[in-house]
Amino acid sequence: MASPNIPPGSQLSALAGSYPNRPYSFLHDQREPHRRASTAEMQDGAGELLEPAARPTHTAVPTYGALYQDESSKRPPASPDVAENASCNWPSHHWEVGSLTRLATPVVLAYLLQRSIDITSVFSLGHLGASELAASALGTMYNSVTGWSVALGMATALDTLGSQAFTASRDPYALGVYLQRAMLILLVMSVPIAVIWWFAEGILLALGQNPELSALSSLFIRWSLPSLIPYLMFECMKRYLQAQGIMHAGTYILMITSPINVLANYLLVWWPPISLGFIGAPIATSFTHWLNLLLSVLYVRYVQGGACWGGFSRDALRNWGQFLRLGLAGMALICSEWWAFEVVALAAGYLGTIPLAAQSVVLTSATITYMIPAGISITACNRIGNALGRKHANRAKLATHGALLLALAVSTFNTSLILVFKDDWGYLFNSDPEVVALVSKILPIAALFQIGDVFGGVGGGILRGTGQQHLGAYLTMFGYYTVSLPVGIYLTFVLDMGLAGLWWGLCVALFIVAAGEVWAILRLDWDEQVVRCQERIQHEDAYEEETCVV
């Protein structure tokens, strides 16, 4: 259905209302066969169909993308036509920052709610005993390193291709094809991930883990297997909706399922009639992820976002190379950073119980504060991708500047918040005075860490919007593995700086990544990025025309 916040008579409303009124039309490929267009026809989007179209042509696609549809009446009087090729003056920047804030807010909330699903499991199992808590922590780390980081890195390709195809492609259902392609690729990737999870006990033993802990952790990992596919498919659905500017759908869904997850954990872990104990938590998590996927499909079908779905298409089986190139770069970016933090967590374990507990508190705090730049990153990526798809170079540049200004504001806020509450913050997580004192000592470093973390996260989103994930990947691998980890380990174990040494190493890495990304972003030729975007999407359109010719 059309978005409720789009004015009546808009082109997106026309597109959404044009679906054939027949049973199961949501599933069938509604795209009409077409002949190969001539060069002249392809230039103006023409090309006669062999059969009368049961849907509108590409001219019915929203003119500026849904990210700008509801904002045309909200720009300041002094601002130029921001929805088109806006100039980068102060009123435009002010308007852009406000728009980004409004759009990013539901994404941030969705991240926090999704994070609560894992936290609920840890909290529930922590009350069973220390062994269960340790096993769940090790199992969660294993799943993250071998599964979530790899698959979610690949899914970043949909951020780029989806947002650009939504406004650039001549096929109004191109975004739906990209969604199917992403799902198929992630399904293929889930096979080796499932094998690694199934044989987790042997792998953990080979890595020198305690046999009892390895056995219990592998039980947690195996019972997490049912959550693998729905989690990955839900991530694809979120990106499909976000590419259309529908940022709030994931939040609505998670507002429903997060409380259900808490209830499911209680029933499956603790409630006497069921009381499955340790395995109840991963089962509850799997149930929640399946519910997330189901509700996202129902949302697209009955509420909003179905305008870009043309049914299942064989085109999703073709042209995987383009997706894989972007996805592998995104995978390198996500995995290199994610794995580096896990290495730091392992290194903290060698320092003793108190430093390990303090590391957990500080890292959890940094994870929570990172939800804000993560939301801005997603919004900026889709805004920039939509603008490039519409050939609006200045609009993409303005979105970039707005995202960087918002990053400055958020990093200042996060840093100030941590410094103000550093002495009492630890009590929210632990009552041990030694742990709280060490947390208070590390938090000023974590406050400085926020600057690089925020700019690095937002910069990564900007680069994804332009399809340049590889730049972020190079910077991340260099920053963490050439500088951060060696410096952090040297400061910690050679100079005996303790946990502070590890966090100084992380700060160095994040400042390298952030500075490199901002430098690369400020040097971008936005006219060239428009050309690259058009070539990327036109290549897909041409590929589909070759395979659909009758």
> Is there a single domain that holds both residue 337 and residue 376?
yes
Whether 72 shows a pLDDT value over 90: the answer reads: no
**Would you state the pLDDT for residue 244?**
93
Whether 75 shows a pLDDT value over 60: the answer reads: no
Whether 405 shows a pLDDT value over 50: the answer reads: yes
**Would you state the pLDDT for residue 544?**
57
User: What's at 413, amino acid-wise?
Assistant: F
Given CA atoms 225, 227, 233, 239 in this order, what sign does their dihedral have? negative
Q: Rounded to the nearest 10 degrees, what angle do helices 393-425 and 526-548 cross at?
A: 110
Residue 19 lies in a domain: no
Of the listed ranges 21-25, 105-109, 208-212, the one predicted with least confidence: 21-25
> Is there a single domain that holds both residue 305 and residue 352?
no
Transcribe 213-260 into DSSP letters.
Answer: HHHHHHHHHHHHGGGHHHHHHHHHHHHHHHHTT--SHHHHHHHHHHHH
Domain boundary among 263, 297, 318: 318
- Distance (Å, rounded) from C-alpha 30 to C-alpha 141? 43
Residue 93 lies in a domain: no
- Say if CB 458 and CB 377 are below 8 A apart: yes
Residue 10 lies in a domain: no
**Would you state the pLDDT for residue 88?**
56
Domain boundary among 318, 339, 368: 318
> Is there a single domain that holds both residue 296 and residue 357?
no
- Distance (Å, rounded) from C-alpha 232 to C-alpha 239? 11
- Distance (Å, rounded) from C-alpha 387 to C-alpha 465? 9
**Would you state the pLDDT for residue 95?**
84
User: What confidence tens digit (pLDDT) does each residue in 246-291 have?
Assistant: 999 999 999 999 999 999 999 999 999 988 999 999 999 999 999 9
> Is there a single domain that holds both residue 374 and residue 313?
no
> Is there a single domain that holds both residue 289 and residue 394?
no
Whether 399 shows a pLDDT value over 70: the answer reads: yes
Label residue 61 by pLDDT band (50, 70, 90).
very low
Residue 365 lies in a domain: yes
Q: What is the DSSP letter of 549?
A: -
Residue 456 lies in a domain: yes
Question: pTM value?
Answer: 0.81
- Distance (Å, rounded) from C-alpha 418 to C-alpha 1? 43
> Is there a single domain that holds both residue 279 and residue 370?
no
Q: What residues make up the domain containing 260?
A: 108-318
Residue 179 lies in a domain: yes
Label residue 547 by pLDDT band (50, 70, 90).
low
> Is there a single domain that holds both residue 394 and residue 504?
yes
pLDDT, mean of residues 519-542: 87
Of the listed ranges 117-121, 148-152, 183-187, 191-195, the one predicted with least confidence: 117-121
Label residue 52 by pLDDT band (50, 70, 90).
very low
Domain count, the chain: 2
> Is there a single domain that holds both residue 310 and residue 429?
no
Q: Mean pLDDT of all residues in the chain? A: 82
- Distance (Å, rounded) from C-alpha 214 to C-alpha 206? 10
**Would you state the pLDDT for residue 545?**
56
> Is there a single domain that holds both residue 208 and residue 284?
yes
Residue 87 lies in a domain: no
- Say if CB 425 and CB 418 are below 8 A apart: yes
Transcribe 10-71 into DSSP letters.
Answer: -HHHHHHTTS--STTTTTS--PPPBPPPPHHHHHTT---BSS--SS--GGGS-SS-HHHHTT
> Is there a single domain that holds both residue 359 and residue 451?
yes
Residue 97 lies in a domain: no
> Is there a single domain that holds both residue 407 and residue 485?
yes
Q: Is the model more confident about 501 or about 56? A: 501
Domain boundary among 318, 348, 366: 318
> Is there a single domain that holds both residue 311 and residue 342?
no
Q: In the numeric block, which tokens belong to residue 234?
A: 């839900």
- Say if CB 324 and CB 185 are below 8 A apart: yes
